[in-house]
């Protein structure tokens, strides 16, 4: 037993001892006083017996008061313990909310970097971010608090639980990672071929040997052409990037924000955040997107569609 538990238990032990003492004294006084009143009625001992009966009644009142005080202390300690557990639980949920938001931001940044760089190397680097995000979601799914909440929620109302939405977010990333593992090699080999070509082409441009077949791009292309520049291939996305855009899940992930916002990842996140906010003691804010959309991607896609 720890010092805190000994310190918290000592008042209860003292009250219990007082209650037992009052009870013994009350019973003793009642027994002795009753015998004196009955056996020595009319004598001085009877008056003493009456006094003992009155004293026994006083001890009984004291015992009742002690019992009530003990019960009040028990209720107070139970309420304090319940509040402590609720605070601990809220702290865990709050940390989980922070973790989920961190996963969302990491995935959003990976999405933006891959689109901006348009290289297999960036796709490879950000794949590690996706794997780490999967592991973070998996760890939260198996947290005892989440597992217990999942069971209680389903028994209570049968609705989707925190665990269900974490599973939805992880499933989306699982599919992206599975596609990477199955199709990355061909794109990586093409990237090496592209690098050889770009190395030679950049050297030719640096030596002012660019021929008329590939004129340099205009210094300030019109706004409608900025998303699809023309001119020397050194300024264009590579063949390896075109191969990446043949990956169904990757191309949809990097596509218009409408498709992304309708994905299982975002929809699960939008449903999950209010649940975590409520369990964390934070006022729920519904209808907010998990993070900023990507204007660069949206503008490029809109321009290419027109």
Mean pLDDT of 20-31: 58
Q: What is the mean pLDDT of residues 269-286?
A: 80
Record the pTM.
0.62
**Residue-level pLDDT at 36:** 53
- Whether the per-residue pLDDT at 51 is higher than 50: the answer is yes
The pLDDT tens digits of the residues spanning 142-173 come to: 999 898 888 887 766 667 899 999 999 999 99
Residue among 298, 273, 299 at smallest CA distance from 104: 273
Distance of alpha carbon 159 from alpha carbon 95, whole angstroms: 23
Question: Is the per-residue pLDDT at 290 higher than 70?
Answer: no
CA distances from 106 to 67, 132, 284, 289 (A): 58, 9, 23, 15
pLDDT at position 82 is: 67
Taking a C-beta distance cutoff of 8 angstroms, is the pair 287, 266 a contact? no
For residue 249, the SS3 value is helix
Place of tokens 């891959």: 114
SS3 per residue for 107-147: HHHHHHHHHHHCCHHHHHHHHHHHHHHHHHHHHHHCCHHHH
pLDDT one-digit tens code per residue, 105-135: 999 999 999 999 999 999 999 999 999 999 9
| Phi (first) and psi of residue 159, to 5 degrees | -75, 170
Q: Using CA atoms, how far apart are residues 250 and 260, in angstroms rounded to an integer?
A: 11
């Amino acid at each position: 037993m720890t010092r805190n538990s000994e310190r918290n238990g000592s008042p209860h032990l003292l009250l219990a001892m007082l209650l037992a003492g009052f009870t013994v004294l009350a019973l003793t006084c009642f027994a002795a006083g009753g015998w004196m009143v009955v056996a020595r009625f009319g004598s001085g001992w009877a008056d003493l017996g009456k006094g003992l009966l009155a004293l026994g009644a006083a001890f009984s009142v004291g015992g009742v008061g002690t019992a009530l005080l003990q019960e009040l202390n028990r209720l107070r300690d139970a309420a304090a313990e319940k509040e402590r557990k609720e605070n601990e639980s809220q702290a865990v949920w709050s940390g989980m909310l922070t973790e989920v938001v961190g996963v969302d931001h990491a995935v959003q940044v990976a999405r933006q970097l891959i689109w901006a760089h348009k290289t297999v190397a960036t796709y490879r680097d950000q794949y590690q971010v996706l794997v780490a995000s999967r592991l973070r979601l998996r760890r939260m799914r198996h947290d005892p608090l989440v597992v217990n909440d999942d069971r209680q929620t389903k028994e209570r109302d049968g609705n989707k639980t925190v665990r269900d939405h974490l599973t939805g977010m992880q499933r989306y990333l699982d599919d992206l990672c599975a596609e990477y593992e199955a199709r990355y090699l061909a794109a990586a080999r093409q990237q090496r071929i592209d690098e050889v070509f770009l190395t030679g082409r950049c050297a030719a441009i640096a030596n002012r040997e660019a021929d008329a077949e590939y004129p340099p791009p205009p210094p300030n292309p019109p706004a409608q052409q900025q998303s699809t520049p023309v001119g020397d291939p050194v300024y264009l996305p590579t063949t390896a990037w075109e191969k990446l855009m043949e990956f169904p899940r990757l191309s949809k992930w990097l596509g218009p924000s409408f498709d992304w916002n309708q994905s299982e990842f975002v929809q699960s996140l939008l449903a999950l955040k209010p649940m975590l906010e409520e369990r964390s003691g934070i006022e729920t804010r519904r209808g907010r997107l998990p993070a900023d959309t990507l204007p660069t991607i949206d503008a490029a896609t809109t321009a290419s569609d027109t």
